[in-house]
Amino acid sequence: MTHEDPIADAVLDLVRSADPDAGAILAREAERQQHTLELIASENHVSPAVMHAMGTCLTNKYAEGYPGKRYYGGCAHHDEIETLARDRAKQLFGCAFANVQPHSGAQANGALFLALLSPGDTFASLELSDGGHLTHGLKVSMSGKWFNPVHYPLVRDAKSPAFETIDYDEAERVCMEAKPKLIMCGYSAYPRVIDFARFRAIADKCGALLHADIAHIAGLVATGEHPSPFPHCHVVTTTTHKTLRGPRGGLFLTNDEDLAKKFDRALFPGMQGGPLMHVILSKAVAFGEALKPEFKTYQQQVVKNAKALASALTEHGYRITSGGTDNHLMLVDLRTRDAELTGADAERWLEAAGIITNKNGVPQDPRPPVKTSGLRLGTPALTTRGFREGEMQQVAALIDRALAGKGDESAIAGVQRDVEAMCERFPLNAVVGAGA
């Protein structure tokens, strides 16, 4: 291992000894993470404490139910752990109730539908091609197969200063016409601030509950770098592994006791069985890190880095949708730099050069999802490594060099050498903003 983490080294040695095949794969992945630049907006690098909390004896225990109401004996310490995670989540987001058991954000959203809607009920969400999430109404998702999604768009007028931001007037029109039981806000690929108060006004006007899915911006919300969905939203779901920089998992939050009880029942026994208590311990550790002053400084740098990267890419000829970013991510329209360049090609060439991204459609993208005209980029992981604005300018230049070469092997190799040099300068041996 190159993390300079003795526990991780010991774990790798143990796995190699017990299972050489599995150990070899684990070693290769550790090397990949160390020697590549992670720019996927939904990924991050956790601290050693968060990572190793998941590899504990808690994985040995069934703890179906909730603290004080388990279906198995021997859960006293698991009650303590779950209560600690709940209390820290409530403190972090300033709310009265938290459920830390969802295995993922998708599971949290599924339980929310089960709790608040009946099959066939109408809900409203952003058009998926404009930055929504598959659990917000994609037809192959449970949310789209069992329920009736209606969608509001982004501003379409390219001459408008609000171009490619949420069209709140159109959202109100759609909701007043469809009268959904639930309105969803919070998105998978939206780079601007969300006006939760405006959405609440729309929800009150049409008689709907308001749900914020803050999976991407949770860390920013927790530290005040993005407005909080509370007190405007009735219910909130999130993942814990993006800007919040915890283990892979989900979280539910609310100030409404009745809605909290409905969600608890919907998640267990409605959607899930035994909770992953080793992951819940890791969530508690991550929430503890997020409550430290260093974490706010980290989130501030995440936003600064995103703005710096977006600005630098603009100087290289790329178009950033909506004209920039207010948070940790951006959508890069590749066509202004090269009309023939697709997101699929860009993702492949960049990965060969050691820069990890994901292809993503831009609003009103004429290309299919398997090709796309854009990339989604995010700065949480590189900020965790210690990158600042100057390094983001260098990253933009590396991206442009790799893409300008159109897959040329020598050009890719040259970029890869420079990427590895940057990785050596910022090794994964300390997590910025995790505290002591």
| Catalytically active residues, by annotation | 62, 64, 213, 239, 242, 248
Yes or no: say if 252 and 98 are a contact pair by the CB < 8 Å rule.
Answer: yes
Distances (CA, A) of 419 to 266, 348, 412: 46, 16, 10
A 10 A CB-CB count for 258 gives 9
Distance CA 233, CA 227 (A): 12
Yes or no: say if 325 and 269 are a contact pair by the CB < 8 Å rule.
Answer: no
C-alpha neighbours within 13 Å on the C-beta side of residue 13: 6
Yes or no: say if 324 and 190 are a contact pair by the CB < 8 Å rule.
Answer: no
Closest CA to 64 of 81, 53, 78: 78
Q: Which residue has the tokens 């449970």?
A: 142
Distance CA 152, CA 232 (A): 19
- Please give the structure tokens belonging to residue 200: 């609440």
Beta bridge mates, 235: 211, 254
Specify the amino acid at residue 222.
A
Distance CA 307, CA 232 (A): 27
Yes or no: say if 375 and 357 are a contact pair by the CB < 8 Å rule.
Answer: yes
Burial 109-133 (b: 16+ CB within 10 A, else e): bbbbbbbbbeeeebbbbbbbbbbbb
Q: What is the distance between the terminal CA atoms of the chain, rounded to a whole angstrom? A: 22
Specify the amino acid at residue 12.
L
Q: What is the dihedral of CA 133, 136, 138, 140, to 10 degrees?
A: 110
Yes or no: say if 196 and 185 are a contact pair by the CB < 8 Å rule.
Answer: yes
